[in-house]
């Protein structure tokens, strides 16, 4: 029976852990989160063939397990969990596989991976794309930085939690690819909201304009499947008061990571920098941190905020 230690059971991690349990593969799972109720939400998903135990420390969660999976908010948390006293590397067994699914800076990912390698352990940085909906439905995309043998060991678990697994390269490459993806996402979401705002202010119906642009050269993911204008796309966060989805706070965090990465490589990212500033203005001016990132439509259509 494979044993898994799962650390971090928030909006993403909780769904991912439950999908592993739903696979009914006979896993034995130990979970840890600083919020006890989040652990309870996973332990209640136990099946007849899978045993889940809530633990009181990282050490208890990882001691003797075959695989450790983590989903944490930021690089400082990853360093604390893996490198801190009583953390993962202090307690993992000699052949434990380590999979960190957090979105963090590449430098921290490489530092933690190097420390794991010094102990003879395979470690992946495997950030995800797909948001909470993808986490819940098990359709996430994993963007992996790792040695090939580590990825192959991890693949059976990743394929339960997601629909796509990409090998971006060696340690840290998964984080770089995720950062590039989310910077582009911010750019085309802001551009889509701007175009829709312009059209509506000049008398166009947002649904009609969206359909025209979808079938024209302006079509993009934000417009086609995640429309930011309320009422245009049923099921999109914009049509449920921008609740759920990918938070503005998380988008601004990822854009900060993109800017830091660009600074390190002396790369020019003028559109990424503009998107970061637009999201920061939206976050602060509209108190939008806990709203979905498509709520940037408010920046161009402030009357929507009053609806």
pLDDT digits (tens, 9 = 90+) for 155-188: 999 999 999 999 999 999 999 999 999 999 999 9
Please measure the distance between the N-terminal and C-terminal CA atoms of the chain and give it in whole angstroms: 53
**Number of Cβ atoms within 10 Å of the Cβ of 29:** 25
Local confidence band at 247 (pLDDT 50, 70, 90 cut-offs): very high
At residue 155, the pLDDT reads 97
Catalytic residue, candidates 79, 119, 178, 276 = 178
Structural contact between residues 275 and 197, judged by C-beta atoms closer than 8 angstroms: no
At residue 306, the pLDDT reads 78
Q: How far is CA 93 from the centre of its chain?
A: 27
Local confidence band at 105 (pLDDT 50, 70, 90 cut-offs): very high
Q: Which domains does the chain have, with CATH numbers?
A: 3-170 (3.40.50.720), 176-306 (1.10.1040.10)
Q: What is the tens place of the pLDDT at every residue in 182-216?
A: 999 999 999 999 999 999 999 999 999 999 999 99
Query: Region 282-294: what's the mean pLDDT?
Result: 97
Torsion of CA 273, 287, 102, 258, to 10 degrees: 0
Q: Catalytic residue at 178?
A: yes
At residue 166, the pLDDT reads 98
DSSP E strands in 33-76: the ranges are 51-54, 67-70
Local confidence band at 132 (pLDDT 50, 70, 90 cut-offs): confident
At residue 67, the pLDDT reads 98
Q: For residue 265, count CB atoms less than 10 angstroms from its CB and return exposed for 0-12, middle for 13-18, buried for 19 or more.
A: exposed
> What percent of the chain is modeled with pLDDT above 90?
91
Query: Region 252-263: what's the mean pLDDT?
Result: 97
Of 84, 70, 72, the residue nearest 5 (C-alpha): 70
Longest dimension (CA), the chain: 66
Q: What is the tens place of the pLDDT at every residue in 21-67?
A: 988 788 899 999 999 999 999 998 877 677 899 999 999 999 999 99
Q: For residue 44, count CB atoms less than 10 angstroms from its CB and return exposed for 0-12, middle for 13-18, buried for 19 or more.
A: exposed
At residue 50, the pLDDT reads 77
The conformational region for residue 172 under phi > 0 = left, psi -120 to 50 = alpha, else beta, is left
Q: What would the two tokens of residue 233 be?
A: 């796309």
| Residue 102, pLDDT above cutoff 80 | yes
Gyration radius from the chain CA atoms: 20
Structural contact between residues 68 and 97, judged by C-beta atoms closer than 8 angstroms: yes
Of 59, 47, 53, the residue nearest 20 (C-alpha): 47
């Amino acid at each position: 029976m494979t044993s898994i230690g799962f650390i971090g059971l928030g909006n993403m991690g909780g769904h991912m852990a439950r999908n592993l349990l739903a696979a009914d593969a006979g896993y034995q799972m130990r979970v840890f989160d600083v919020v006890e109720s989040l652990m309870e939400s996973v332990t209640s998903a136990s099946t007849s063939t899978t045993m889940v135990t809530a633990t009181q420390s990282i050490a208890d969660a990882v001691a003797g397990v075959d695989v450790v999976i983590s989903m944490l908010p930021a690089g400082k948390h990853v360093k604390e969990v893996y490198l801190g006293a009583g953390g993962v590397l202090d307690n993992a067994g000699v052949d434990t596989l380590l999979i960190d699914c957090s979105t963090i800076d590449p430098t921290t990912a490489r530092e933690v991976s190097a420390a794991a390698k010094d102990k003879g352990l395979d470690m992946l940085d495997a950030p995800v794309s797909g948001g909470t909906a993808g986490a819940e439905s098990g359709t996430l995309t994993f963007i992996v930085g790792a040695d090939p043998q580590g990825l192959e060991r991890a693949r059976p678990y990743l394929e339960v939690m997601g629909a796509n697994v990409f090998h971006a390269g060696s340690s840290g490459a998964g984080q770089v690819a995720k950062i590039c993806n989310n910077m582009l996402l911010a750019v085309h979401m802001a551009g889509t909201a701007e175009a829709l705002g312009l059209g509506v202010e000049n008398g166009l119906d947002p649904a009609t304009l969206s359909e025209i642009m979808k079938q024209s050269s302006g079509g993009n993911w934000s417009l086609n499947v995640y429309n930011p204008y309320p009422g245009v796309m049923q099921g999109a966060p914009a049509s449920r008061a921008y609740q759920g989805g990918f938070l503005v706070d998380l988008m601004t965090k990822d854009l900060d990571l993109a800017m830091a990465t660009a600074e390190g490589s002396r790369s020019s990212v003028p559109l990424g920098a503009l998107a970061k500033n637009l999201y920061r203005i939206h976050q602060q001016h509209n108190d939008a941190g806990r709203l979905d990132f498509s709520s940037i439509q408010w920046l161009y259509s402030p009357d929507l905020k009053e609806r």
